Amino acid sequence: MAVSHRLFRPATTTVKNTFSSFLIRSISSSSSSSSGSSLDPKIDLEEAASQLEKSSSTSTSPSPYKGRNFHWVFLGCPGVGKGTYASRLSSLLGVPHIATGDLVREELSSSGLLSSQLKELVNHGKLVPDEFIISLLSKRLQAGKEKGESGYILDGFPRTVTQAEILEGVTNIDLVINLKLREEALLAKCLGRRICSECGANYNVACIDIKGDDDSPRMYMPPLLPPPNCESKLISRADDTEEVVKERLRIYNKMTQPVEEFYKKRRKLLEFELPGGIPESWPRLLRALHLENDKQSAIA
């Protein structure tokens, strides 16, 4: 493997990410109680699921694919590009891209009751319970319903079989897209991630060039470099080290494998191996989703 990095000297030290210390996973209500967290007793799993079922009812909205309500889920290791491809499909299909990680961050930055409870969990290194995530998701879907949104693309949920079962009980998921990428490329991508400390834009300084062999073709992924005004302001996540990234991938694979099997048994899982960067992968993904007839969608 030949992986090169084009680095820029950051203007500041590495940024810390509050959410790197925990994963959004399921724990039972009893486990939540025993952990000492002070979740509002009114927010239990049954009620949260009921709220999600009510808010998942969709209405029609203008879209190039009018008449089709897309209820899709994106799975994939951290750093694989779920957000990038989910966002592109969101724009193409006219449905919202809902990332549970964003919902948690938004709630954490607010001043509501759930925010104070979340901060307590994070400060004590606790896991975020299912009922909390489902409550946030139901609020988001209800808000979308009121705005006339039709369908959704979920990113980051479900991550456990328990979450998948809850979701299945309240809404019908049409398709689960599982993005895959060679581990050496995935590792290089994570280590090459950079953020502009001023505007918040995301870049990647890794130039990935993996030689092909009998089992797999050559893979080339060019860097996503910043404009000149951002070069001196690049910072990296404090947890984007090789040791931490490998451990993050190990935990993800162990936790998510049962979810993949869950949807595979229901014949809803689409395994998609990314062949390279966006220019190469995007048109192939559209073909796999039978969306290749839209000429504008093939523009990378």
- The rounded mean pLDDT for the chain is 77
Query: pLDDT tens across 54-80, in order?
Result: 555 444 444 455 446 899 999 999 889
Position 216 confidence tier, pLDDT thresholds 50, 70, 90: confident
More confident residue, 8 or 168: 168
Q: What are phi and psi of 74, to 5 degrees?
A: -110, 125
List the end-to-end C-alpha distance of the chain, in Å, as a whole number: 26
**Catalytic residue status for 266:** no
Report residue 293: phi and psi, to 5°. -75, -15
- Using left for φ > 0, alpha for ψ between -120 and 50, and beta otherwise, residue 17 falls in beta
Catalytic residue among 88, 126, 189, 193: 193
> Following DSSP, what letter does each residue of 231-281 receive, concatenated?
HTTEE-BTT-SHHHHHHHHHHHHHHHHHHHHHHHHTT-EEEEE--SSHHHH
Active site residue 237: yes
Half-sphere exposure of 282 (CA within 13 A, CB side): 18
- In the DSSP assignment, the letter for residue 15 is B
| Residue 193 appears among annotated catalytic residues | yes
Of the candidates 120, 116, 84, 24, which has an alpha carbon nearest to the alpha carbon of residue 279?
A: 84
Mean pLDDT, to the nearest integer, of 2-9? 41
Non-local CB neighbours of 8 within 8 Å, separated by 6+ positions = 194, 205, 226, 231, 232, 234
More confident residue, 221 or 123: 221
Nearest to 135 by CA among 50, 72, 18, 59: 50
What's the chain's length in residues? 300
Q: How far apart are CA 34 and CA 49, in angstroms?
A: 22
pLDDT over threshold 90, residue 126: no
Query: Residue 279: phi, psi to the nearest 5?
Result: -55, -35
Report the relative pairing of strands 219-221 and 234-235 from DSSP bridges: unpaired
CATH 3.40.50.2000 is held by the domain 70-96+149-289: no
How much is the pTM?
Answer: 0.71
Annotated catalytic residue, options 139, 237, 246, 284: 237
Residue 40, φ and ψ in degrees, nearest 5? -55, 120
Over residues 181-196, mean pLDDT = 92
Amino acid at 230: C
Confidence tier at 203 by pLDDT (50, 70, 90): very high
Single-letter residue type at 261:
E
Q: What is the pLDDT of residue 122?
A: 67
Tell me which of 88, 126, 189, 248 is the catalytic residue: 248
* CA atoms of 275 and 219, how far apart (whole Å): 7
Helix (H) or strand (E) holding 185: helix 183-191
> CA 293 from chain center: how many Å?
27
- Catalytic position from the list 88, 159, 189, 233: 159
